[in-house]
Amino acid sequence: MPQNPSRVFASISPAEFFYRNRQMAGFGNPTQAVYSTVRELVENSLDSCEDARKRPEIKVEIDEAPSGIVTITVSDNGEGLPHAHVADSFGRVLYGSKYLSRQRRGTFGLGVTMAVLYGQITTETPVMIYTCTENDEAGRTYELLIDVEKNRPIIVSSNSVKRNKVGTSVRISMKGAVARAYDRVVDYLRLTSVSTPHSQIELVRDGEKQFAIHPSSDTLPTPPVSAKPHPHAADMELLRRLIKKCAQSPLQEFLRKSFQQVGRVTSSKIIEFLGMNPQREVGDFERSDISRLSTALQNFQGLGRPTIDSLSPIGEKPFMNAVLETYDAVDVGYAQKGPSEWGGHPFIVEGVIAIGGRLRKAKTPGLFRFTNRVPLLYDASEDVMTKSLNEVDWSRYGLTKSRKVGLFIHFCSTRVPYKAAGKQSVATEAEIESHLTLLYKELGRCLRRMTKVKKKRAQRIKEARSYSQQLALIAELGAELSEEDEVPSVHSLVEQLFEVNLDV
Amino acid sequence: MPQNPSRVFASISPAEFFYRNRQMAGFGNPTQAVYSTVRELVENSLDSCEDARKRPEIKVEIDEAPSGIVTITVSDNGEGLPHAHVADSFGRVLYGSKYLSRQRRGTFGLGVTMAVLYGQITTETPVMIYTCTENDEAGRTYELLIDVEKNRPIIVSSNSVKRNKVGTSVRISMKGAVARAYDRVVDYLRLTSVSTPHSQIELVRDGEKQFAIHPSSDTLPTPPVSAKPHPHAADMELLRRLIKKCAQSPLQEFLRKSFQQVGRVTSSKIIEFLGMNPQREVGDFERSDISRLSTALQNFQGLGRPTIDSLSPIGEKPFMNAVLETYDAVDVGYAQKGPSEWGGHPFIVEGVIAIGGRLRKAKTPGLFRFTNRVPLLYDASEDVMTKSLNEVDWSRYGLTKSRKVGLFIHFCSTRVPYKAAGKQSVATEAEIESHLTLLYKELGRCLRRMTKVKKKRAQRIKEARSYSQQLALIAELGAELSEEDEVPSVHSLVEQLFEVNLDV
């Protein structure tokens, strides 16, 4: 039998893979494409400002031509891109500056390239980039396309310009559906100002300024730094790579140098458990040795908590203030769980529970999800944050249908287990789930306290009002008796006595 | 300012991308890994048997060592792999034989490689492969690992063997959680026998045969053939590729040769609309010409239905019989919608509604999802099939909480818009959604008819029973009058009259 003629064997590039499966990366249709383009560009801008240790000033411009061509421009005051890396950063899938082990918004080297690709396949217009770093005497502009089959950039033009403002500006044209995406874009930017409260974000649509969100926090967060791997992440692949890097190290030194949370005591325990020679050079290890070492490291219990300087939680005050300001909430509470690790990747979960203001009424609190300071607006139902939320009996914490309650949950980690490349929902990992459950319960207790405080205050105002009325009568009587024309006011006296505001 | 030392620019291979984000491909934890390995290997085997036009005989073996190492072996009687392609097929991500435009189970060249990768990072054991094609005098065995950073296979061993049974057998060892995955594996295999009813599937666990599912259908389906692209799929990228293939063709000939549903009339209409010269060679087209042509093709209305020989729906009889047999259903109904296309990719949706038997009671029918004959068991809630199901008011079709009803929905297409690389749920595309809604409504009407028929039959049995009693009295009386000892039976007479079975 001859070979089946329909069997063609071939390798495809990652650009080709995501071109064919663009819905996986959040570019499935013209609505998603507009939303994801804004999102990916804003994320990159915020990361870049963080690297530059500057307060982010981000400008988003969306212009729609009568032909239906949408042009999206995002400009920032970040550190700019070194010229040697511009073409690959925008024109090569899975290329980026982000493969270190620390909390980042962008992680895959995929999002912005997908936006460029989407622009290209719908309008064949190249992406336009302006960028300039502190080290450059002049900025440069670029026009790029992508060779999808080969996964590499095509440089259409590259010019030095007079402008030398440090930062980056990116313009992408595509066939997009702005009308259908617009509300989500606005939600995204508002929620971004909650999770990055030190940023300034401006939105311009068809040349008209829509709004500018000003920072609700003065302090720039400490930038996260790259961390050593956690022993629980030591699968065979990682272990082999680490051994390659310091093949001449004796085992004990190797363990202490290569991993976090492994000092003299822990490394001795592991080595003793394995019955290995602590002085043996790891370069001499055979497959079976590495396999045993991997198992021991991944299962070792009793390690200290993972280091947290690779993480950047929003923090109690900035997070609460941002929610208060953005949603006019009446009261807020905060809780944080962790640090812990999933598969060896350190993480923290933190959350704000808020009542009143512009939050919606519901039996289950409205959920606003964030990962590494990025708001997630799609695919909520399969997210571990949603699943854990639904497992809590919120009525126990005094939640009824008639109450306005919102939950703002931030999961931050050196690696987020997104369910898909479009980064819209987080997969269920046991360790993450259990920490979320603890977090929700603590936020539930916050809610109960807020409810009690509110009830107490209401009671106190009631008492004060009735006392005030009686005191007013006495004052009137006193005035009458003393033949004074003016009855003295008891209002502020009562307010001081009861420590309440009677005008509420 | 010196460049930020934390900025390291690098490109990663697709193998590295999926190694880091393995949860996206269905390999997030030891439970998923067992399930996905079985699934990916079985899918490949079924595809291979289809290519060989043989009735699939698939054997799945799962062995768990006391150490927790799980070994999964899947053997088939498919066409085998040409030796030149074995290493890349198992050791290179995004390499495969499946990039043609026709319905296939496997599509990405990702799944099996991920299983190999997972085995490697948890046990460092190479995948073992035996394969032999009709053309080979002898089979060969291979042991392979993957160079993750370079995305290429490492051949540990490769030997000719005496065995020459045509087919493929693959063995992967990993740290897996069989106990937690087992029920899903069983569900998966049973549902596979529903969507591929001509297959024979055997499951062996720890050396003991668990079950063998025999074919419920005799006929092998017609193998789908590769189709020309649909005009609605003509984005800039595709159009440029097609033009490259026949640069010297005049425009009209190019359109007719390159696309399905485009004949003389349609191509003339498109060319007239664009005001182009039908004789101009497409190789001479400039960017703006290609862009206009792309827009015109993607938006052209009034094309014929897409060709369906690239698709392989299960079909009314085989689908209904398989459900009847697998679920001991009391009654079933079938409906089909399409062919239509989403983004230029032809698709059909078909479904079976079943009542009674081993189906569960619920207000909304239990949903069993299939894409290209593959059962989907995870991530149901974000799937367009679930969303459309929930939009139907099932009470209108006589569905109550106390009824056992199941829906088996099959979406088949030359391209399935999976939400993630793990292929567990289908993204929402307007065209797919609207066809699903039509399908559900028709299945709802089937349900109502089945209900009516059932009610009518019950009524008829009741009437027959009462008639039978009276007739029996008359017969008794007659016997008495005629002084006969034996009263004649009226049972079969009544059954014939009423066309019912009174013993039910």
Give SS3 for A351. Answer: strand
The beta-carbon neighbor of A28 closest among B8, B11, B427 is B427
Q: Is the pLDDT of residue B458 over 60?
A: yes
Pairwise pLDDT comparison (B369 vs A483), residue with the higher score? B369
CA distances from B179 to A297, A396, A427, B182 (A): 24, 35, 21, 5
In a domain, A305, yes or no: no
- Nearest CA to CA, how far is A276 from chain B (Å)? 19
B468 and B485 share one domain: yes
> Taking CB atoms and an 8 Å cutoff, what residues of chain A touch B381?
381-382
**Region A36-53 average pLDDT:** 96
Cβ contact A1–B135 (<8 Å): yes
User: Any bridge partners for residue B43, and if so which?
Assistant: none
Cβ distance B407 to B352 under 8 Å?
Answer: yes
pLDDT tens-digit readout, A233-270: 999 999 999 999 999 999 999 999 999 999 999 999 99
pLDDT tens-digit readout, A426-469: 999 999 999 999 999 999 999 999 877 777 776 777 777 777 77
Give the position of tokens 């987020």.
A416
3-state secondary structure B259-278: CCCCCHHHHHHHHHHHCCCC
How much is the pLDDT for A399? 86
A44 and A166 share one domain: yes
> Taking CB atoms and an 8 Å cutoff, what residues of chain B touch A4?
51-52, 79
In a domain, B334, yes or no: yes
CATH code of A272's domain: 1.10.8.50
Work out the pLDDT band at A335, boundaries 50, 70, 90: very high
CATH code of B332's domain: 3.30.230.10
CATH code of B106's domain: 3.30.565.10
A444 and A461 share one domain: no
List the single best residue of B12, B22, B98, B147 to mutate versus A (max A Cβ within 10 A). Answer: B12
Cβ contact B6–A92 (<8 Å): no
User: Any bridge partners for residue B405, and if so which?
Assistant: B355
Give SS3 for A152. Answer: strand
Cβ contact B28–A79 (<8 Å): no
Cβ contact A13–B290 (<8 Å): no
User: Could you tell me how many helices (H) and strands (E) chain B has, helices first?
Assistant: 13, 15
CA distances from A349 to A310, A422, A435 (A): 14, 21, 7
Q: Which residues of A172-205 are buried (b: 16+ CB within 10 A; e: fewer)?
A: bbbbbbbeebbebbeebbbbbbbbbbbbbbbbbb
Pairwise pLDDT comparison (B84 vs A98), residue with the higher score? B84
Question: CB atoms < 10 A from the CB of A366, how many?
Answer: 15
Using CA atoms in the order B237, B238, B241, B242, what is the torsion angle rounded to 10 degrees? -150
Cβ distance B378 to B419 under 8 Å?
Answer: no
Report the percentage of chain A scoring pLDDT > 90: 76
**CA-based nearest residue in chain B for residue A223:** B6
B367 and B443 share one domain: yes
B285 and B325 share one domain: no
- d(CA A478, CA A432) in angstroms, rounded, equals 67
> Taking CB atoms and an 8 Å cutoff, what residues of chain A touch B156?
none
In a domain, A384, yes or no: yes
In a domain, B224, yes or no: no
The residue among B213, B244, B275 that closes a domain is: B213
- d(CA A166, CA A160) in angstroms, rounded, equals 14
The residue among B299, B327, B354 that closes a domain is: B299
pLDDT tens-digit readout, A67-103: 889 999 999 999 999 999 999 999 999 998 755 788 9
Instruction: Give me Rg for the CA atoms of chain B.
Output: 29
A323 and A423 share one domain: yes
The residue among B213, B246, B278 that closes a domain is: B213
- Nearest CA to CA, how far is A15 from chain B (Å)? 10
Please give the ipTM for the structure prediction: 0.88
> Taking CB atoms and an 8 Å cutoff, what residues of chain A touch B148?
237
The beta-carbon neighbor of A12 closest among B4, B99, B236 is B99
Poorest-confidence range of A125-129, A339-343, B256-260, B482-486? Answer: B482-486
Cβ contact A97–B7 (<8 Å): yes
Q: Which two tokens stand for residue A109?
A: 């080297």
- Nearest CA to CA, how far is B308 from chain A (Å)? 17
How much is the pLDDT for A287? 85
Q: Is the pLDDT of residue A492 over 80?
A: no
Cβ distance B358 to B327 under 8 Å?
Answer: yes
In a domain, A100, yes or no: yes
How much is the pLDDT for B3? 43
In a domain, A308, yes or no: no
Poorest-confidence range of A20-24, B9-13, B88-92, B366-370? Answer: B9-13
> Taking CB atoms and an 8 Å cutoff, what residues of chain B touch A99?
8, 10, 12
Closest C-alpha among B95, B99, B98 to residue B84: B95
B209 and B243 share one domain: no
**CA-based nearest residue in chain A for residue B295:** A122
A174 and A26 share one domain: yes
**CA-based nearest residue in chain A for residue B109:** A11
> Taking CB atoms and an 8 Å cutoff, what residues of chain B touch A236?
120-124
B291 and B194 share one domain: no
User: Any bridge partners for residue B144, and if so which?
Assistant: B127, B155
Q: Which two tokens stand for residue B468?
A: 């039978």
**CA-based nearest residue in chain B for residue A427:** B23
How much is the pLDDT for B1? 36
Work out the pLDDT band at A368, boundaries 50, 70, 90: very high
How much is the pLDDT for A388? 96
- DSSP character string of B11-73: E--HHHHHHHTGGGGT-SSHHHHHHHHHHHHHHHHHHHHHHHT---EEEEEEEE-TTSEEEEE
In a domain, B308, yes or no: no
A413 and A492 share one domain: no
In a domain, B198, yes or no: yes
**Region B358-364 average pLDDT:** 85
Q: At how many degrees (to 10) do helices B236-245 and B251-258 cross?
A: 110
In terms of residue numbers, what domain contains B256? 231-299
Q: Is the peptide bond before B82 cis (omega within 30 degrees of 0)?
A: no
**Region B473-499 average pLDDT:** 76
The beta-carbon neighbor of B236 closest among A10, A122, A421 is A122
Cβ distance A45 to A76 under 8 Å?
Answer: yes
B323 and B429 share one domain: yes
Domain count, chain B: 4
A153 and A287 share one domain: no
Q: Name the pTM for this structure.
A: 0.88
pLDDT tens-digit readout, B402-419: 889 999 999 999 999 999
Averaged confidence pLDDT in chain A: 91
**Region B14-27 average pLDDT:** 94
Cβ contact A9–B85 (<8 Å): yes
Averaged confidence pLDDT in chain B: 91
* DSSP secondary structure code for residue A162 in this structure: S
Give the position of tokens 């035996």.
B130
